[in-house]
Amino acid sequence: MRIEVWADVVCPWMYIGKRRLERALAGRGGEPVEVVWRPYRTDPTAPAEATPRAGLLTDPDAREALRECAPGLTPEENRDRVADEARAEGLGPRWGAVWRASSHDAHRLIALALDAGGARLQDAVVEAVLRAHFVEGLDISDREVLGRISDGAGFPSGGALLDDGAGEEQVRELLLRGKAMGVRTSPTYVAAGLALAGAQPAESIAALLRDAEAAGEPRRLPEEVERLRYAEALLDVRDPLGALTLLRPLLAGHGDDPNVRLLAARAYYASAQLGRARGILEQLVADAPDDAYARLLLGRTLERQGLPAEAAPHLRMAAAMVPDYG
């Protein structure tokens, strides 16, 4: 059985949640559990060059990121609460990040470790990154620091892979997949289609694992179908550019599929790329004149391009086929 943990290495609840997950795993029998770490960004506005956290609580953007990490608490209240929880999990006595650092490259390293050596190597890299950030006070956005972390965790090629740009597209897509799945909190535990948000007690994580084991792994959809569904979910949460990122391989390999083309047209329309949307929709309407929705979207696209006379016939035909479109 596999459990995926979507979390951000600069969120202290990830480190606390990791310890609680380890206790949950230590106290259970049943089938072996593979833990896979997936990226999440709690502070996407963190600067590329790390800054001292000393002034963090006076920065409006940083305060907003901290509020998202602990809804209902002020950043000051959250800081004190986290310190208490960390001590209870044995993560003291020295605790607390020194730098406000982007976690992007650290997530790349973690994803690359999974590809290179599986879950065990990835876990070693995750532990080393968290310790460096929260205990050793290092800047984990620094490539040299990440290289040393990688070496110490048994992943000597990690630093060179980062320098070569490896993992960029993979992490970008994983972040979009997490968003499409509805991940909104660091950490979020997902197993057998069940999810548990937040650094919950070990007992709650153990209960999730029992429920997931009882449910069994859901049938895995083909990669193309899964990608299409994630892209559609991103459109539903108003991220058309993210949808287009996930659709790019499908457009390259399955560009004749009408479902792929229609979803791409919707994403182009939603992101105001009207010329691209129009090109796809005109071909869809030519191929399937009775596709009411394609006609409706083509009419609306033409309207937004300032072409009401060209839009009108398509809108009338769409309304005739489906009265709700009128």
Give 264-314 pLDDT, tens digit per residue: 999 999 999 999 999 999 999 999 999 999 999 999 999 999 999 999 999
Q: Which two three-digit tokens encode residue 286? A: 């030519």
- The pLDDT mean for the chain works out to 93
Q: Which two three-digit tokens encode residue 266? A: 């919707």
Q: What is the pLDDT at residue 94?
A: 73
* More reliable by pLDDT, 47 or 110: 110
Instruction: Examine the domain organization and report whether 209 and 73 are in the same domain.
Output: yes
Q: Does the pLDDT at position 73 exceed 90?
A: no
Instruction: Examine the domain organization and report whether 131 and 179 are in the same domain.
Output: yes
Q: What distance in Å separates the CA atoms of residue 209 and residue 195, rounded to the nearest whole number?
A: 10
Phi-psi region of 218 (alpha: psi -120 to 50; beta: other; left: phi over 0): beta
314: which residues sit within 8 A by CB, 6+ positions away? 285, 295, 296, 298, 299, 302
| AA letter at 308 | P
Range of the domain at 207: 2-215
The full length of the chain comes to: 326
User: Are the CB atoms for 2 and 183 separated by under 8 Å?
Assistant: no
CATH value at residue 196: 3.40.30.10
Give me the number of domains the chain comprises: 2
Grouping H, G, I as helix, E, B as strand and the rest as coil, residue 180 is helix
CATH value at residue 285: 1.25.40.10
Average pLDDT over residues 208-219: 91
Instruction: Examine the domain organization and report whether 239 and 186 are in the same domain.
Output: no
Instruction: Examine the domain organization and report whether 199 and 240 are in the same domain.
Output: no
Most confident of 29-38, 86-95, 128-137: 128-137
Strand 194-197 and strand 188-191: the pairing is: antiparallel
- Among 14-18, 37-41, 220-224, 236-240, the least confident range: 220-224
pTM, two decimal places: 0.91
